Amino acid sequence: MKCTLLFGGTFDPIHYGHICSAKALLEKFDESSLVMVPCRIPPHRPQPMASAGDRLQMLKLAVAEESGLEVDDCELKRQGPSYTFDTLSAYRKKTGCESPLYFVLGHDAWVTLPTWYRWVELVDLAHLIVLGRPGQFADEPEELKNWVQDRRVTLEDSQSEPCGKVVGINLAPIHISATAARRALACGRPVDDMVPKPVERYIVERQLYVTEH
Ligand code: ATP
């Protein structure tokens, strides 16, 4: 069945950790699309360094040659904090109530879920896919552990329902983060192993991330 996958983030900048994970994930679905949704004002983490316009442009450059990957600037156009709840509500209206909708997040973001706006209701709108990510992150809080217990299913089982489940997926680990890319750029080191060439060119032309803060 055709599904819609949404991958939210600051994408400051987009890197191969995002792109390769998105592509590998999409291979597990038939005829589906994955939409990267950059946030304007992240409510649960430090604010991005690059402007919304630059982050959007870098995303567009990165997905230009990737079939199946798309970008939606809906959160950039909305006023106020970029709540995932609002984005999923809007997508649920668009897709209707039958077809599976997935929100994709990495493990580091997953463990912060109980701090998110209306987090318990997110699964009334979509399934969650939690991607394993190399590195050390906070433990899953007890509240989240208890909540997820009877919601965890396999990807296959989730596809028969439109929302309500949590799927953990471990893809080939990619040791790249936007923080590492920003640090490298601030030190004048090349980032060609972290971001696609057109994105690197854009960063250099616009002199983004020349300082770490
Ligand atoms: P920063 O280093 O600034 O915190 P980031 O690399 O985590 O940034 P984000 O834009 O914040 O990038 O990430 C968007 C989403 O992608 C988050 O859910 C995050 O967990 C996930 N993600 C980022 N990098 C990876 C990776 N290498 N593997 C799996 N998931 C990732």
Cβ-based neighbours of 27, under 8 Å, separated by 6 or more: none
> What is the pLDDT at residue 45?
78
Give a yes or no: residue 32 inside a domain. yes
Kindly state if the Cβ of 44 falls inside 6 Å of ligand 1: no
| 22 membership: H or E segment, kind and range | helix 16-26
Give a yes or no: residue 194 inside a domain. no
Kindly state if the Cβ of 38 falls inside 6 Å of ligand 1: no
Give a yes or no: residue 119 inside a domain. yes
Q: How far is CA 191 from CA 59, 64, 84, 180, in A?
A: 16, 19, 30, 9
> What is the pLDDT at residue 213?
61
Kindly state if the Cβ of 179 falls inside 6 Å of ligand 1: yes
Contact 200, 160 (CB under 8 A): no
> What is the pLDDT at residue 49?
92
Give a yes or no: residue 76 inside a domain. yes
- Domain total in the chain: 1
> What is the pLDDT at residue 178?
96
Full domain range(s) for residue 141: 4-174
CATH of the domain at 59: 3.40.50.620
Give a yes or no: residue 201 inside a domain. no
| Closest C-alpha to 4, from 116, 121, 117, 87 | 87
In the beta sheet, which residues pair with residue 5?
34, 102
Give the residue, out of 5, 12, 18, with the most ligand 1 atoms within 8 A of its beta carbon, to mutate for a pocket test. Answer: 18
Give a yes or no: residue 9 inside a domain. yes
Per-residue pLDDT of the chain (213 residues; tens, 9 = 90+): 789 999 999 999 999 999 999 999 999 998 889 999 999 988 877 889 999 999 999 999 999 989 899 999 999 999 989 999 999 999 999 999 999 999 999 999 999 999 999 999 999 999 999 999 988 878 899 999 999 999 999 999 999 999 999 999 999 999 999 999 999 999 999 999 999 999 999 999 999 999 876
Q: Relative to the CA of 42, which ligand 1 atom is closest?
A: 11
Q: What is the CA(104)–ligand 1 centre distance, in A? A: 11
| Closest C-alpha to 11, from 56, 61, 73 | 56
